[in-house]
């Protein structure tokens, strides 16, 4: 069993991290006040850190060498007081920035989720739900540290490096050149290492997404896996995905470790060069002891931020790959949208017309070919035909989950592309074979059809589809808690709850897509009676393989190969002995 959709990486447009990261950091601008406080605290801490070596130099040359104990004690007191202030500034800076970065991640995740909610079904058809989940949770979580460290690590370390270089050159340019002699070599090495590291971090994020997608789908289908005894096969696939993720992670870490080793080498060379030049070129007596000590501190203060910046770079490369994946979704435009001058759909009467409608899911192969039909308001239309004929496509287009390739779809004479999607769908009710049950109470699930529904309205809808009786027999009645997908209920009970939910919305047009297939014959008769009573005068489209459920339809359309090959009442079609007659004979022979 090959699960190639999980082993294949998603194709992303390759962008430079330098274009992705500024866009990510732009989310900080919403919190300018907090960032300003962080920068102020950072300035206090960095300034004190930079003058520490100068204070030590002054203490050595002015107080320790001449044995001025009183002056030394005063200097120590000042040193301790300033460093207490520095520590407090650092701690407060980190606290404020941690809160700010969490808010940024919250905003980013909310914006991503809101955008995904607005995308059409074509987007979801091409992606496993696990990969979408990985972007909402995993990829956004990976950005928290980089956003926080951009202010708490990147800026202060850059300032420290520049300031240390300036101070060293002002104090003694010859010692400064010696201490920084290995810097060009360091820059070249880091540039070469970064190219490889970026490649492997991007690959690692893709492999992680593949693994998350597989886990999500595997757990969702665990019943099927266990029933077919496919545990060994899925375990094999999982191991392949885990090891692929591990391989890319280790590759990335190996190259990133090279940053630290290379910088350590350059640091050591610079330190040795400092003392060699100081002793052998300038001479021991030409530079004070305090200056040597200060330069020793400044060398550490130069190379340690470089080390921190290399670690930050590693984070940035990893975060950039996650940011690319997030922004790739946020830059995905919905293909089904309101036109600029879309109007609000008035109360639907229910006349429906398809005029020469052609449609393709992939833009190449047409699944509907020049389909035309008219339905009067209040009529019940049944769509029958073999699997894959295009029945569900017809009702998906009516609800405008997809846009047609050619022709027009009219409701009450209005082209559905000329009205807002919300005003159209709020007047339609759609029930499928696999109506989703959300975690929560039965009451919550029914009320999903009308969020402001009263208790009486919820009970009335349940009674109308004959769900009230079984709900009342449950221990907690309408307050019975359900898990996602409603595993505590039978298939028929889940369908009845879904019926009640749709009935509560009082749709003007109703779509039943194999909606009664999970209900036993006795319950089905009750539900059909409830539907007939509640939807009298409303236009209904019924997709059914069980032909016994559509004998009361006003008209039946037989669809095959993306075309309507036959239409008429059940009696008329049986008399013709055509396509419908053949379907009926095969089903009841």
pLDDT digits (tens, 9 = 90+) for 388-418: 888 889 999 998 999 999 999 999 999 999 9
Please write the tens of the pLDDT for every residue from 236-253: 888 888 888 888 888 877
**pTM of the model as a whole:** 0.68
Which one, of 43, 87, 48, lies nearest residue 301 by Cα?
A: 48
Between CA 322 and CA 138 the distance in angstroms is 8
- Cβ partners under 8 Å of residue 450, min gap 6: 457, 504, 505, 506
Please write the tens of the pLDDT for every residue from 451-461: 888 999 999 88
Q: Angle between the 491-504 and 521-534 helix axes, to the nearest 10 degrees?
A: 0
Burial class of residue 73 (count of CB atoms within 10 Å of its CB; 0-12, 13-18, 19+): exposed
Which one, of 400, 499, 514, lies nearest residue 445 by Cα?
A: 499
Burial class of residue 81 (count of CB atoms within 10 Å of its CB; 0-12, 13-18, 19+): exposed
Return the exposure string of 208-232: e unless at least 16 CB atoms fall within 10 Å of the residue's CB, then b: bbbbbbbbbbbeeeeeebeeeebee
Which one, of 571, 577, 569, 561, lies nearest residue 385 by Cα?
A: 561
pLDDT at 483 over 50: yes
Q: Which residue has the higher pLDDT, 86 or 546?
A: 86
Q: What is the pLDDT of residue 278?
A: 65
| Polymer length of the chain | 589
Residue keyed to tokens 């529904």:
453
What are the structure tokens assigned to 75, written together? 């200097």
| CA angle at 52 for the pair 51 and 54, rounded to the nearest 5° | 65
- Cβ partners under 8 Å of residue 345, min gap 6: 411, 414, 419, 420, 423, 424, 427
Share the mean pLDDT of the chain. Answer: 81
């Amino acid at each position: 069993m090959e699960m190639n959709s999980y082993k294949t990486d998603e194709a992303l447009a390759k962008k430079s991290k330098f274009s992705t990261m500024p866009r990510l950091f732009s989310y900080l601008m919403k919190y300018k006040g907090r960032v300003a406080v962080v920068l102020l605290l950072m300035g206090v801490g960095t300034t004190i850190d930079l003058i520490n070596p100068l204070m030590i130099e002054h203490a050595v040359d002015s107080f320790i060498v001449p044995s001025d104990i009183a002056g030394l004690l005063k200097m120590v007191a000042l040193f301790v007081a300033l460093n207490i202030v520095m520590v407090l500034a650092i701690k407060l800076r980190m606290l404020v920035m941690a809160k700010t970065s969490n808010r940024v991640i919250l905003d980013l995740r909310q914006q991503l989720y809101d955008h995904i909610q607005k995308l059409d079904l074509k987007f979801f058809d091409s992606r496993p739900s696990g990969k979408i989940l990985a972007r909402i949770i995993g990829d956004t979580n990976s950005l928290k540290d980089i956003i926080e460290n951009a202010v708490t690590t990147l800026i202060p370390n850059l300032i420290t490096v520049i300031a240390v270089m300036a101070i060293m050159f002002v104090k003694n340019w010859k010692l400064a050149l010696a201490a920084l002699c290995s810097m060009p070599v360091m820059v070249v090495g880091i540039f070469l290492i970064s190219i490889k590291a970026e490649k492997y971090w991007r690959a690692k994020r893709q492999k992680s997404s593949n693994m998350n997608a597989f886990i999500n789908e595997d757990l969702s289908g665990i019943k099927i896996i266990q029933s077919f005894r496919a545990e060994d096969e899925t375990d094999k696939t999982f191991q392949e995905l885990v090891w692929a993720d591990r391989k890319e992670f280790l590759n990335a870490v190996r190259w990133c470790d090279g940053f630290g080793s290379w910088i350590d080498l350059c640091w050591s060379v610079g330190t040795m060069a400092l003392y060699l030049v100081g002793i052998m070129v300038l001479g021991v007596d030409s530079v004070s002891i305090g200056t040597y000590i200060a330069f020793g501190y400044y060398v550490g203060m130069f190379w340690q931020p470089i080390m921190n910046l290399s670690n930050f770079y590693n984070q940035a490369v990893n975060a950039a790959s996650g940011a690319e994946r997030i922004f790739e979704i946020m830059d995905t435009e919905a293909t089904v949208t309101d036109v600029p001058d879309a109007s609000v759909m008035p109360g639907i009467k229910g006349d429906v017309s398809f005029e020469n409608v052609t449609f393709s899911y992939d833009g190449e192969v047409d699944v509907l070919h020049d389909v035309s039909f008219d339905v009067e308001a209040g009529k019940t239309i049944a769509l029958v035909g073999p699997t894959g004929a295009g029945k569900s496509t017809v009702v998906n287009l009516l609800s405008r989950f997809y846009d047609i390739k050619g022709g027009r779809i009219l409701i009450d004479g209005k082209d559905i592309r000329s009205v807002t999607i919300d005003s159209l769908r709020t007047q339609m009710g759609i029930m499928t074979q696999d109506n989703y049950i959300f975690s929560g109470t039965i009451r919550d699930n029914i009320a999903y059809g009308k969020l402001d529904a009263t208790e009486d309205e919820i009970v009335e809808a349940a009674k109308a589809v004959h769900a009230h009786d079984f709900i009342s027999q449950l221990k907690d009645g309408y307050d019975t808690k359900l898990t996602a997908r409603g595993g505590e209920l039978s298939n028929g009970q889940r369908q009845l709850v879904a019926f009640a939910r749709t009935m509560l919305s009082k749709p003007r047009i109703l779509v039943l897509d194999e909606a009664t297939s999970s209900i036993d014959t006795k319950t089905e008769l009750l539900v059909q009676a409830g539907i007939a009573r509640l939807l009298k005068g409303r236009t209904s489209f019924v997709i059914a393989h069980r032909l016994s459920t559509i004998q009361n339809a006003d008209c039946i359309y037989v669809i095959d190969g993306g075309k309507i090959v036959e239409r008429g009442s059940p009696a008329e079609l049986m008399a013709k002995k055509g396509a419908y007659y053949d379907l009926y004979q095969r089903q009841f022979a």
